[in-house]
């Protein structure tokens, strides 16, 4: 094989989120500029991933984007984007995966608590049973892989279903704690509400993607 052929077949790195760009986006920057950067980077990364969907190494690097670039860098690009936009939807999926990556045991326990009350959502999320730390990590990776190597709307809906089961589990956990630790119970209740809101946002983003209106 020639050198040129080898270069052509070598797996490409995903488009990097430029650290300097992130540092140049302070809170007071023109919102239009921040929005343009968010949409441009999100669109470029999704296009690259979907174009190279048959390259598992590329898809894996995109799934591990936060680990490679740092959460702060990704947040500077996408965290302020509305939920009904591509960068906003991606940000929510990456934050969900980062939570699972950092605390898989808690996530697995909340998921188990929510299983019986949210069986339909569990079927969509597709977590193996019984769900343990490895299983919830696998589904978080699978959701993000679907953004690049599958139907993006289905990936968003799987993320939403995952959030709904976790929200149910967090609500049950809050009920258990209410009698002994009211502060922790209130915190869990707020967390459950936030997860439900995230699920609704991801479902809306999925509908917009199918209507070709998510950008």
The domains of the chain are located at 17-210
Per-residue model confidence (pLDDT) at position 30: 67
- The tens digit of pLDDT for each residue in 73-110 reads 899 899 999 999 999 999 999 999 999 999 999 999 99
- The tens digit of pLDDT for each residue in 111-153 reads 999 988 888 888 888 888 889 999 999 999 999 999 999 999 9
Average of pLDDT values for 203-213?
A: 97
Q: For 187-209, give one letter per residue: b (16+ CB within 10 A) or e.
A: ebbebbeebbebbebbbbbbebb
Per-residue model confidence (pLDDT) at position 75: 92
What's the pLDDT band for 63 if we cut at 50, 70, 90?
A: very high
- Phi, psi dihedrals of residue 129, rounded to the nearest 5°: -115, 135
What's the pLDDT band for 22 if we cut at 50, 70, 90?
A: very low
Per-residue model confidence (pLDDT) at position 176: 84
- Using DSSP's 3-state secondary structure scheme, residue 207 falls into helix
Prediction pTM value: 0.83
Average of pLDDT values for 1-27?
A: 41
Contacts of 153 (CB under 8 A, 6+ apart): 206, 207, 209, 210
The Cα–Cα gap between 205 and 139 comes to 19
The Cα–Cα gap between 142 and 40 comes to 24
Looking at every residue in the chain, the average pLDDT score rounds to 85
Per-residue model confidence (pLDDT) at position 8: 37
- The tens digit of pLDDT for each residue in 26-44 reads 445 567 888 998 999 999 9
Contacts of 72 (CB under 8 A, 6+ apart): 22
- The tens digit of pLDDT for each residue in 145-204 reads 999 999 999 999 999 999 999 999 999 989 888 888 889 899 999 999 999 999 999 999
Per-residue model confidence (pLDDT) at position 10: 36
Long-range CB pairs of 47-55, under 8 A, 24+ apart, other chains included: 48/12, 48/14, 48/15, 49/14, 49/147, 49/148, 49/149, 50/148, 50/149, 50/152, 52/12, 52/148, 53/148, 53/149, 53/150, 54/149, 55/11, 55/12
Alpha-helical runs (H) found in 24-85:
31-51, 56-63, 65-69, 71-78
């Amino acid at each position: 094989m020639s050198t040129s052929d080898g270069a052509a077949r070598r797996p490409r790195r995903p488009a990097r989120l430029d650290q300097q760009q992130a540092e140049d986006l302070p809170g007071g920057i023109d919102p239009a500029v921040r929005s343009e950067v968010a949409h441009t980077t999100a669109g470029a990364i999704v296009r690259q991933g979907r174009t190279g969907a048959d390259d598992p190494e590329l898809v894996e690097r995109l799934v591990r984007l936060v680990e490679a670039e740092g959460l702060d860098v990704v947040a500077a690009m996408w965290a302020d984007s509305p939920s009904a936009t591509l960068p906003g939807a991606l940000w929510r999926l990456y934050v969900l995966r980062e939570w699972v990556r950092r605390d898989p045991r808690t996530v697995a326990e909340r998921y188990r608590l929510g299983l019986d009350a949210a069986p339909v959502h569990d079927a969509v999320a597709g977590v193996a049973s019984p769900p343990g730390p490895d299983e919830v990590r696998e589904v978080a990776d699978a959701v993000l892989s679907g953004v690049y190597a599958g139907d993006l709307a289905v990936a968003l809906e799987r993320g939403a279903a995952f959030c709904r089961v976790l929200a149910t589990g967090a609500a049950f956990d809050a009920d258990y704690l209410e009698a002994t630790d009211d502060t922790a119970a209130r915190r869990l209740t707020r967390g459950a509400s936030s997860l439900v809101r995230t699920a609704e946002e991801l479902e809306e983003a999925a509908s917009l993607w199918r209507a070709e209106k998510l950008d």
